[in-house]
Structure formats: structure tokens, C-alpha cells
């Protein structure tokens, strides 16, 4: 049995939970005792002693935990989680049936009814990511529910408890079943990727960009030059090359990006020697490219929300316009910029403002061609649209 406690919330906040808002925050409670430990099930009461929801206490960068149920008599137990997991898998049955793609998200936190945990599928293997100590305290119930409901080859986990989702390396990423091959080769729209489930914080591929990668390959890169900045393992470059790009250039600060990107080219029968893979601070590369008067037909820019390198601190919120201005200068007229951000701190509208400001300040002209947010497997609650953090806009530079 999980620890449970009754707790009162301020009258001003009652209605939002009745409407299905899922996130808990400090300010909603009249009094939150220091004795309450992360992972405790909170039974939320209004001023008239009516139970309006059940949630759990778990500190994340945003929030204080999540609502789990709006039914006052619903027990939070293995059956509860099992039902959520089965429903989530059922929602992804088209993904399981698609033989061209063998990696996708099967459980997206609050979008699937349990905030603070995600589950990704990699060709028979499942990866759990826990975003707070609180949700991790519920892991025995959740994992047991999963094992009862799902056939799996193996189960892995990542712990990202601290406020900013920083990875906690306790050398216990592998949990149950078989170990996955290193690398595990998965497919995304028939393009292969090498996944390392037990090699640090990230596995080698961000699944939320699937539709963007496909679009780049299918509509934009034939006979074009492609610059991929903040390239990580080169996923956009690989799709570009498969789409027939004349040449791709990938730039990332991390040394590992050379071997990882080369591997991704190789397993797709593309000779990495014919592509450019550069380890450098993107901001230095821009200076170099401007000096050399380099121009690209397509530039992908997908920075982290926040990053600190030796010389630069970058915050998407504050510095995106500046970043875009650099990118615009090395994009051909008629070329396309893929501007991307996973920052939950601003909206799609604000992101469009950034693009508009950047072009305006350079006296340029542009046209928005298309835009993307999270794909269907990254389920978002309509009561919590902030959960849809991904914003990607394809912008044609007119001048």
C-alpha cells in the first residue's frame, strides 16, 4: 500500500482541477507539511471537505506533482497503473503495426494519465524515464503493472530527478529481461539508428522529431546542401543524405558526435567520409562560415533550451533571435531554415515572433512553409497544452 494523506487546497484552485488540470503546485495548498515525503499519494479536498482528486507529491522543475485520478474512490495501485498502461499501448496500435518504424513513445506522462514518467519503445525494449523522486517512489507498482500488461524483451530506465531533468547515473539503467544489443538498431521510416540504452543520459535519438526528419527527407533535401547545427548524433543529416542531399554538414560541440554521426551514416550505407562532421561551438562556426561566405540551401537549428559552452551561454528564451540572425546570414536566398525548439518556456506564437524579429532586424523577408509540434505518440492533454513543448517551423528565406 502506498502512503496516502489528506490535504486541503485553496478554494480559488478547486475549479481548475474539476476541469481536469493535471499539474500540482505549491501555491494551491493551504498548508503543506514538511513531513510529507515525495511519492505520497495526496487526496485533495476542497473547503467543504469534498475530495476532488488524487495525485502524488513529486518535485520537478515545474510543479509539485501530478493528479492521477479525479474519482475520489479510485485506488492508486497496480491495477490503476495497469489500466493506464494498457490504454496507452492501445492508443499506439498503429505505431506497433507500422513495420517501417520500430521506435516511438508509448506513454507520455500526464498525456497518458500519469505525469512524471515516460515510456519509449525501441524494437521490443522499453525505456522508462522518471522525472522526480516522487514518481520513482511509485516505481514498484508501475513496473509491476507494466510487466503484467506488456510483452517485452527488456526494460531500462533513466532517472532525471533534479529540477532541470539532469541525469542521475546510478549504474542501474538496466532493469529486467534481456539486455539489448549495443547498439540496438531501430528503424524510423526505414532509416536506421543505433540506440544505446545503457550509455548515459541520452540514447542517441530524439523520437519527438520523427515527422520533421521525414519531411526534410521527403520534401526538401534532393540535390541541396544541408547544414545541421547542434547536430548531436546527426539524425537530421542522415535523413537529409537519404533524401539525396548534395552534401551534409553537421556541427556539434560534443566530441562523441563524430563517432555517433559516422555510425548513423554507415548503417544507412552512406559513406561518412563524403559528409562533413565538425566538432565545434556552433557560434564559432557561424563566424567562420560568414567569413568564408558559405551559403547553405537548408539549415537546421535545434539547440538545447539552455546550454553553456566555454565562451557562450545560450538560453532559447533570450537568445533565439540572435541565433536565427546568424543562421539567416548563411542561408541561400530561396533556402529553407528549420527552426526548432523544445523549450516549454514560450509558446508557438512567441516563437513565430522570434522569427519575425530576426528577419526584420536584418531587413530580410521570409515565408513560413509549415510547422510542427509533438507527434501523436507524444500524447498531450487538452487541459495541459503546455505539455506540447516542441515547436518546429520551416521558413523560406526570400531575401
Interaction of residue 230 with ligand SAH, rule CB under 6 A? yes
Q: Rounded to the nearest whole angstrom, what is the least distance from the CB of residue 230 to ligand SAH in the complex?
A: 4
**Closer CB to ligand SAH, residue 29 or residue 296?**
296
Q: Which residue has the cell 476541469?
A: 19
Q: Find the binder of ligand SAH among 104, 131, 232, 320 (CB under 6 A).
A: 232
Q: Which 257-286 residues touch ligand SAH, going by CB under 6 A?
A: 281-283
Give how far Cα 137 sits from Cα of 71, 134, 157, 373, Å.
Answer: 22, 5, 14, 31
Interaction of residue 374 with ligand SAH, rule CB under 6 A? no
**Closer CB to ligand SAH, residue 307 or residue 362?**
307
Of 25-33, 225-233, 346-354, 363-371, the segment contacting ligand SAH by CB under 6 A is 225-233
Which grid coordinates belong to 191?
532509416
Interaction of residue 307 with ligand SAH, rule CB under 6 A? yes
Which grid coordinates belong to 270?
552512406
**Quick check: 305 and 315 in contact, CB under 8 A?**
yes
Tell me the backbone φ, ψ of residue 103, rounded to 5 degrees: -145, 130
Q: Find the binder of ligand SAH among 254, 290, 368, 398 (CB under 6 A).
A: 254
Strand runs labelled E in 96-142: 103-108, 117-122, 125-130
Q: Find the binder of ligand SAH among 28, 88, 106, 235 (CB under 6 A).
A: 235
**Quick check: 239 and 258 in contact, CB under 8 A?**
no
Binding letters toward ligand SAH, positions 181-220, x by CB under 6 A: -------------------------x--x-----------
**Whole-number Å distance between alpha carbons of 157 and 193:** 19
Q: Find the binder of ligand SAH among 258, 304, 319, 332 (CB under 6 A).
A: 304
**Whole-number Å distance between alpha carbons of 353 and 392:** 13
Interaction of residue 252 with ligand SAH, rule CB under 6 A? yes
Give how far Cα 384 sits from Cα of 113, 260, 305, 380, Å.
Answer: 11, 35, 20, 7
**List of residues contacting ligand SAH (CB under 6 A):** 206, 209, 230-233, 235-236, 252-254, 281-283, 302, 304, 307, 309, 312
Amino acid at each position: 500500500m502506498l502512503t496516502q494523506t489528506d490535504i486541503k487546497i485553496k478554494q480559488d484552485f478547486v475549479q481548475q482541477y474539476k476541469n481536469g488540470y493535471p499539474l500540482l503546485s505549491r501555491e494551491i495548498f493551504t498548508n503543506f507539511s514538511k513531513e510529507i515525503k515525495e511519492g505520497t499519494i495526496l487526496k485533495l479536498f476542497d473547503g467543504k471537505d469534498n475530495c476532488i482528486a488524487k495525485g502524488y507529491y513529486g518535485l520537478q522543475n515545474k510543479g509539485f506533482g501530478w493528479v492521477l485520478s479525479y474519482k475520489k474512490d479510485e485506488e492508486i495501485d497496480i491495477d490503476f497503473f495497469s489500466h493506464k498502461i494498457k490504454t496507452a499501448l492501445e492508443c499506439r496500435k498503429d505505431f506497433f503495426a507500422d513495420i517501417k518504424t520500430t521506435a516511438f513513445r508509448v506513454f507520455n506522462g500526464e498525456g497518458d494519465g500519469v505525469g512524471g514518467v515516460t515510456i519509449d519503445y525501441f524494437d521490443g525494449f522499453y525505456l522508462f524515464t522518471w522525472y522526480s523522486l516522487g514518481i520513482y517512489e511509485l516505481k514498484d507498482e508501475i513496473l509491476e503493472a507494466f510487466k503484467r500488461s506488456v510483452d517485452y524483451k527488456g526494460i531500462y530506465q533513466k532517472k532525471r530527478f533534479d529540477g532541470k531533468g539532469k541525469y542521475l547515473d546510478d549504474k542501474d539503467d538496466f532493469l529486467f529481461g534481456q539486455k539489448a544489443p549495443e547498439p540496438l538498431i531501430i528503424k524510423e521510416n526505414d532509416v536506421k539508428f543505433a540506440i544505446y540504452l545503457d550509455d548515459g543520459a541520452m540514447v542517441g535519438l530524439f523520437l519527438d522529431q520523427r515527422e520533421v526528419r521525414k519531411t526534410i527527407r521527403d520534401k526538401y533535401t534532393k540535390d541541396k546542401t544541408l547544414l545541421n547545427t547542434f547536430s548531436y548524433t546527426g539524425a537530421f543529416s542522415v535523413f537529409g543524405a537519404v533524401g539525396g542531399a548534395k552534401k551534409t554538414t553537421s556541427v556539434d560541440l560534443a566530441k562523441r558526435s563524430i563517432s555517433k554521426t559516422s555510425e548513423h551514416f554507415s548503417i544507412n550505407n552512406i559513406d561518412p567520409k563524403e559528409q562533413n562532421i565538425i566538432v565545434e561551438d556552433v557560434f564559432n562556426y557561424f563566424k567562420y562560415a560568414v567569413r568564408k561566405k558559405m551559403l547553405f540551401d537548408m539549415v537546421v537549428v535545434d539547440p538545447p533550451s539552455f546550454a553553456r559552452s566555454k565562451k557562450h551561454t545560450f538560453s532559447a528564451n533570450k537568445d533565439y533571435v540572435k541565433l536565427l540572425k546568424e543562421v539567416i546570414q548563411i542561408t541561400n536566398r530561396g533556402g529553407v531554415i528549420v527552426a526548432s525548439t523544445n523549450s516549454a518556456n514560450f509558446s508557438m506564437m512567441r516563437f513565430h515572433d522570434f522569427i519575425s524579429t530576426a528577419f526584420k532586424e536584418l531587413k530580410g523577408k521570409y515565408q513560413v512553409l509549415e510547422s510542427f509540434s509533438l507527434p501523436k505518440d507524444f500524447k498531450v492533454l487538452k487541459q495541459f497544452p503546455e505539455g506540447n513543448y516542441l515547436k518546429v517551423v520551416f521558413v523560406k528565406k526570400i531575401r
